[in-house]
């Protein structure tokens, strides 16, 4: 019904911006911790994929792989395993980045940990 649509839009407007800020702020902190050049570029949505590949130590062109279905899941896991390693954390943390809600916690551990 129409109230379901209004409720869904309200939830998106309530949770969307704070989650985007959390996600991007953690990316920014991780980029700075790993001495990645131009860390501020993570605030630009599509360019974020490029910076994430650079943080993981992969070639910049790998960001194109994020736009290929199925391949993007494998690349996403691989990249986050490398980012976990770059943050001196166990690589298996990168696997959990595909799990909703858990990925927010893992991202915080990678960004705010030692």
Give the C-alpha separation, 71 to 95, whole Å: 15
Look at the block and give the residue holding tokens 């974020």: 48
In a domain? residue 10? no
- Tokens encoding 8: 């869904």
Backbone angles phi, psi at 30, to 5 degrees: -65, -40
CA-based R_g, the chain, Å = 15
In a domain? residue 1? no
In a domain? residue 94? yes
The total number of structural domains that make up the chain = 1
Give the C-alpha separation, 12 to 77, whole Å: 26
The residue segments making up the domain with residue 19 are 15-112
In a domain? residue 45? yes
In a domain? residue 7? no
pLDDT at 3 over 70: no
User: How far, in whole angstroms, is CA 3 from its chain's centroid?
Assistant: 32
- Tokens encoding 1: 């019904």
68 exposure class (CB count in 10 Å sphere: 0-12, 13-18, 19+): exposed
Q: Collect all residues with Cβ–Cβ distance below 8 Å to 32 and sequence separation of at least 6.
A: 39
In a domain? residue 2? no
In a domain? residue 85? yes
- Enter the pTM of the model: 0.83
- Summarised one tens digit per residue, pLDDT across range 23-72 is 999 999 999 999 988 889 999 988 999 999 999 999 989 989 999 999 99
In a domain? residue 78? yes
């Amino acid at each position: 019904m129409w109230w379901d649509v209004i409720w869904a839009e309200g939830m998106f407007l309530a949770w969307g911006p704070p989650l985007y800020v959390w996600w991007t702020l953690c990316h920014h902190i991780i980029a700075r911790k790993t001495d990645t050049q131009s860390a501020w570029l993570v605030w630009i949505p599509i360019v974020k994929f490029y910076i994430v590949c650079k943080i993981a130590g992969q070639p910049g062109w790998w960001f194109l792989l994020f736009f290929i279905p199925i391949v993007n899941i494998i690349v996403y896991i691989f990249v986050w395993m490398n980012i976990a390693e770059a943050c001196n954390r166990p690589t298996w943390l990168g696997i959990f980045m595909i799990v909703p809600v858990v990925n927010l916690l893992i991202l915080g551990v990678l960004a705010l940990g030692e």
